[in-house]
């Protein structure tokens, strides 16, 4: 559960019965019954699947504070704060919708939502040896254009190529821009708005601001803006595509990173995703010093 730092998570492909079978395979002489195994397992700080990261920390805190509040005045104060927080989240959604309409009506205006999918492990086989070995992490960054017909772009790579931090996010956006656009002849204009959550390690950082400045100096755009959804309430259009991919992933056998790319390519037959395989060289040559950083500038996720 969120906030429980001591809890550890096992692969979402496992369950208690499968664990028990694996235990019996390894310990052939053990006479422990399933219920004994289950009781002991429940005493451990172990869970299946991923930690819940999509709940909102602020909403959780409001709920806890409200339950503990003793006076009416205290309760009213918390209610006002919570209301304000929800209005902010709603405003971000309204903005996303109106910008989408703006992009629909104007050919030279582009709005994208950017998000990273949860890690996909290979191989995803279910025989016992796989669970005792370290698996390879595969990453996918979705770049979905809103208000246009183009299918979503999925930038895929694995941990042997790069991590998944600010360099990687900015590099994927740069590659997407170079694939889709050519530099503008003057005096034409082209605008870009980037929507994402406010995660500092990935989307909300100095490197991203430098990238935006670079896109203008390279002549791809004349104006670039970045807008954030309220963390924990940021259901972006990318999430819908991720749900489609996850559905497919659950019924696919993935041995290698190539299988992940193929699975994504086939996940939505009616309007296939565009898969962009990121290579080592795509993650280089990305300066973070195009702009002069103002003294004392702090970038936070709050």
- The footprint of Zn ion (CB under 5 A) covers 56, 58-59, 232
Nearer residue to Zn ion within complex by CB, 232 or 257: 232
Residue 59 CB, nearest distance to Zn ion (Å)? 3
Residue 4 CB, nearest distance to Zn ion (Å)? 19
Count Cα atoms within 13 angstroms, Cβ side, for 44.
Answer: 12
C-alpha Rg value of the chain to the nearest Å: 23
Residue 86 CB, nearest distance to Zn ion (Å)? 7
Closest CA to 142 of 223, 243, 216: 243
Nearer residue to Zn ion within complex by CB, 102 or 235: 235
Nearer residue to Zn ion within complex by CB, 41 or 63: 63
Residue 233 CB, nearest distance to Zn ion (Å)? 5
Residue 61 CB, nearest distance to Zn ion (Å)? 9
Q: Which two tokens stand for residue 85?
A: 């927080």
Q: Which two tokens stand for residue 208?
A: 């991203």
Residue 78 CB, nearest distance to Zn ion (Å)? 13
Closest CA to 34 of 45, 23, 47, 46: 23
Distance CA 155, CA 140 (A): 5
Nearer residue to Zn ion within complex by CB, 59 or 218: 59
Distance CA 133, CA 159 (A): 16
Are 194 and 103 spatial neighbours (Cβ–Cβ below 8 Å)? no
Are 172 and 278 spatial neighbours (Cβ–Cβ below 8 Å)? yes
Which residues does residue 26 pair with via DSSP β-bridges, in sequence order? none
Distance CA 101, CA 95 (A): 10
Closest CA to 120 of 301, 292, 297, 252: 252
Nearer residue to Zn ion within complex by CB, 111 or 229: 229
**149 membership: H or E segment, kind and range:** none
Distance CA 232, CA 238 (A): 15
Residue 10 CB, nearest distance to Zn ion (Å)? 28
Nearer residue to Zn ion within complex by CB, 158 or 233: 233
Nearer residue to Zn ion within complex by CB, 85 or 158: 85
Nearer residue to Zn ion within complex by CB, 48 or 235: 235
Distance CA 293, CA 98 (A): 32
Helix (H, G, I), strand (E, B) or coil at 297: coil
Residue nearest to Zn ion according to CB distances in the complex:
56
Nearer residue to Zn ion within complex by CB, 19 or 59: 59
Residue 56 CB, nearest distance to Zn ion (Å)? 3
Residue 230 CB, nearest distance to Zn ion (Å)? 7
Distance CA 105, CA 148 (A): 10
């Amino acid at each position: 559960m969120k906030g429980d730092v001591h809890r550890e998570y096992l692969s979402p492909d496992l369950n208690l019965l499968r664990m028990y079978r694996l235990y019996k395979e390894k310990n052939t002489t053990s006479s422990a019954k399933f219920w004994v195994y289950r009781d002991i397992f429940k005493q451990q700080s172990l869970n299946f699947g991923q930690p819940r990261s999509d709940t909102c920390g602020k909403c959780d805190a409001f709920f806890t504070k409200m339950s503990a509040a003793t006076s009416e005045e205290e309760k009213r104060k918390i209610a006002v704060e919570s209301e304000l927080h929800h209005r902010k989240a709603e405003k971000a959604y309204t903005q996303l919708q109106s910008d989408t309409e703006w992009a629909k009506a104007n050919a030279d205006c582009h709005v994208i939502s950017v998000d990273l999918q949860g890690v996909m492990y290979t191989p995803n086989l279910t025989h016992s040896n796989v669970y005792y070995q370290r698996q390879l992490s595969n990453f996918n960054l979705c770049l979905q254009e809103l208000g246009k017909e183009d299918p979503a772009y999925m930038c895929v790579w694995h941990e042997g190529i790069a991590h998944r931090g600010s360099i990687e996010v900015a590099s994927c956006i740069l590659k997407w821009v170079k694939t889709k656009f050519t530099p503008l002849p003057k005096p034409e204009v082209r605008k870009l708005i980037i929507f994402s959550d406010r995660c500092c390690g990935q989307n909300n950082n100095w490197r991203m601001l430098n990238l935006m400045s670079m896109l203008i100096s390279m002549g791809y755009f004349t104006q670039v803006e970045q807008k954030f959804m309220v963390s924990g309430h940021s259901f972006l259009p990318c999430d819908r595509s991720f749900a489609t991919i996850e559905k497919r992933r659950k019924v696919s056998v993935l041995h290698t990173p190539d299988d992940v790319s193929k699975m994504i390519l086939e996940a939505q037959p009616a309007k296939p995703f565009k898969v962009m395989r990121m290579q080592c060289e795509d993650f280089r040559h990305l300066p973070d010093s195009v702009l002069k950083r103002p003294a004392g500038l702090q970038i936070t996720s709050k």
